[in-house]
Structure 1
Amino acid sequence: MKRNVEPVKKILKESGYKYTKQRAKVYEIFLDNKDKHLTTEEVYNLVAKKDPEMGIATIYRTVQLFHKLGVLDQIAFDDNILRYELRVPSEGHRHHHLVCMNCGKVEEVDIDNLNELEAKIEKEKNFKIVDHTLKFMGYCEDCQHKIEEKAN
C-alpha cells in the first residue's frame, strides 16, 4: 500500500526538522490506524512490533513534535488520558466525539454546524477561531438498554 508521506515531510522541513526513520515509523502507525485514538503507549507497542530497538522516549518526543506541528490532534476523553489522532487538513475542523460515561465507548461524529456560532463569537469577542473541539458525554445505545433493564 502506497502511503502519502509528503505532507508530513513538508511540515517537518518547513519547521526545520528532518523526516527520520523513527518519525516515519510513528507517522506510519497513525496512517495505519486513522480511525483510532491512540495513546503514546499504544503507539510505542505498535512500533515495537516493527522496531523493538526504538525507545519509548523517542516515541514521546515524536508524538509531541507531531502535535506541536499540527500533524496530530490531541484528545482527552472522560478518563483524562491523552490520545492522538491524525489531523486531516482537508476536513477543516476536527470531527466531534460521543463518549459513553458508562462503558467508555467513543464514537466519532462528522456533523459540524458550528460555523454560525463561531462567526458570532468572532464578531462579539473579536477573537479569531482557528479550530475547536467538542465532545458529548452520555450513554451509548447498549448502555441505555442496560440502565433501563436495571430500572425495571
Structure 2
Amino acid sequence: MLSEEDKFKEYLESKNLKFTPERQAILSRVFANPKHFEADELLVDLRLNKLRISKATIYRTLSLLVKSGLLREVIFGERHAHYEQVYGNEHHDHLVCNNCGKIIEFIEYRIEKLQDEVCRKNKFEPESHRLQIQGLCEDCTKKDDNKIKKK
C-alpha cells in the first residue's frame, strides 16, 4: 500500500497539480493526528506550528485530500464539515450527540451487507456512502433523565 504522501502525489499528478510545500505541510499535520477535525482547527494547529498557510489553501487542499480518497467529510452541522482519515482505515459510520457533540464510531456489517444488496438490486455501482445517526449519547440522556426526576 502506498504511503499517504505517495497516494496524494499520485492523485495530484493525475490532475496536473503540484505537490507544494503548503500541501505537504497540510498533509503532514492532518495525518499526525487520527482524530476528527475541522478546517479551522487545522488552521490553528498550523499557525501554532509556525506555518503560515492561508485559509483558502487549507480548504482547497482538504477538498483535494477528500477527492484523492485520503480523507472523508463527515458530521455536517453548524455550516461546516469535520474530516477524518480514511486511507488505510476500515470503513465505519457515526453516532453524533446533538447535545455535547460526542462522536461515536461504529462498524455494523449487517448495515454494510444490506447496502450492498440494495445496490445490487437496483443495478447501482456504489462509490462511497456516509451514515450518520443524530441523537443523544448515554451521558446526555442520563443528564436529561436527572433533570426530569428533579422537577
Deviations 1:7-32 (A, max 9, x none): 22222223322222111111111111
Q: Is the 8 A contact 1:77 1:99 kept in 2?
A: no
Contact 2:72 2:85 in 1 (8 A): yes
Instruction: Please give the alpha-carbon distance, in whole angstroms, between the structure 1 residues aligned to 2:123 and 2:33.
Output: 38
Give me the TM-score of the superposition, normalised by structure 1.
Answer: 0.83
Cα RMSD between the aligned structures?
A: 2.1
2-side partners of 1:113 and 1:78: how far apart?
27
Identity within the alignment, %? 29
**Correspondence for 2:112:** 115
Q: Aligned pair in 2 of structure 1 residues 40, 53: CA closer, same or farther (>3 Å)? A: same
Structure 1 segments unaligned to the other structure (5+ residues): none
Match of 1:64 in 2: 63
SS of aligned partner of 1:85: strand
Match of 2:133 among 121, 133, 136: 136
Counterpart mapping for 1:1-152 below 5 A: 5-35=5-35, 37-89=36-88, 91=90, 94-152=91-149
Q: When the two structures are aligned, how many residues end up with a matched partner?
A: 147
Runs of 4+ off more than 4 Å? none
Rounded to whole Å, the distance in 2 between the matches of 1:16 and 1:113 is: 40
